[in-house]
């Protein structure tokens, strides 16, 4: 009792490489520079950046590396496993601000072909997980408003290089 030590939060970050219509993907820039930025500016105690991976912007090309990130987040032998955050950066060309999605839908519908030429319309990303109507709630927005605010601040500071 009392010897467990503080809980550790492990963060795994992913973003996408370039794709059709977006020659320079800002998420690739963010993810590629994040580790160096955090080494320079530091992280809060108990927060560990475990990995930063840039994925192919292709339905099948990005799936295997994503599974590897997810598997490493739960299979690392550790005496104090703590909590895990899987953070994926995406691009919405029509957005004027950052957004955090709190629901995931098992559906692939691409406006334009991916880097391998695939342009799915309303098909499951992971067929074994069920149909496209299945929604998974990632977190409760009501319980995490403070987290959303904190993430927004950190992203703005990173973009400005402060």
Task: Please tell me the distance from the alpha carbon of residue 39 to that of residue 35, in angstroms, as a whole number.
Answer: 6
Q: Is the pLDDT of residue 97 over 60?
A: yes
Q: What is the pLDDT of residue 36?
A: 93
The first and second tokens of residue 118, run together, are: 């695939």
Residue 49 CA, distance from chain mean position: 12
44-85 pLDDT, tens digit per residue, is 888 999 999 998 887 777 778 877 887 887 766 655 567 888
118-147 average pLDDT score: 65
Q: What is the pLDDT of residue 141?
A: 43
Percent of the chain with pLDDT over 70: 71
> Domain map of the chain by residue range?
1-91
The first and second tokens of residue 44, run together, are: 């809060």
The answer to whether 69 and 51 are in contact (CB under 8 A) is yes
Most confident of 19-23, 40-44, 145-149: 40-44
- What average pLDDT does the structure give for the chain? 74
Question: Which DSSP state fits 152?
Answer: H
Q: Is the pLDDT of residue 33 over 90?
A: yes
Distances from the Cα of 19 to the Cα of 36, 55, 56, 112, 131, angstroms: 25, 11, 8, 9, 26
How far apart, in Å, do the first and last CA atoms of the chain sit?
A: 41
The first and second tokens of residue 113, run together, are: 């072909």
Most confident of 18-22, 42-46, 110-114, 155-159: 42-46
Task: Please tell me the distance from the alpha carbon of residue 25 to that of residue 20, in angstroms, as a whole number.
Answer: 10
Q: Is the pLDDT of residue 94 over 90?
A: no
What lies within 8 Å, CB to CB, of 20 at 6+ separation is 112, 113, 114, 115
Q: Is the pLDDT of residue 158 over 50?
A: no
């Amino acid at each position: 009792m009392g010897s467990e030590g503080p809980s550790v939060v492990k963060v795994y970050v992913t973003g996408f490489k370039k794709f059709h219509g977006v020659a320079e993907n800002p998420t690739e820039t963010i993810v590629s520079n994040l580790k160096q930025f955090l080494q320079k500016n530091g992280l809060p105690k108990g927060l560990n950046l475990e990995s930063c991976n840039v994925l192919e912007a292709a339905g099948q090309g990005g799936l295997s590396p994503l599974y590897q990130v997810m598997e490493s987040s739960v299979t690392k032998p550790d005496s104090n496993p703590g909590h895990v955050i899987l953070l994926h950066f995406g691009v919405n060309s029509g957005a004027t601000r950052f957004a955090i999605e709190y629901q995931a839908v098992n559906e692939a519908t691409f406006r334009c072909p991916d880097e391998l030429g695939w342009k799915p319309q309303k098909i499951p990303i992971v067929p074994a997980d069920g149909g496209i109507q299945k929604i998974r709630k990632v977190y409760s927005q009501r319980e995490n408003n403070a987290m959303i605010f904190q993430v927004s601040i950190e992203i703005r500071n990173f973009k400005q290089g402060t």
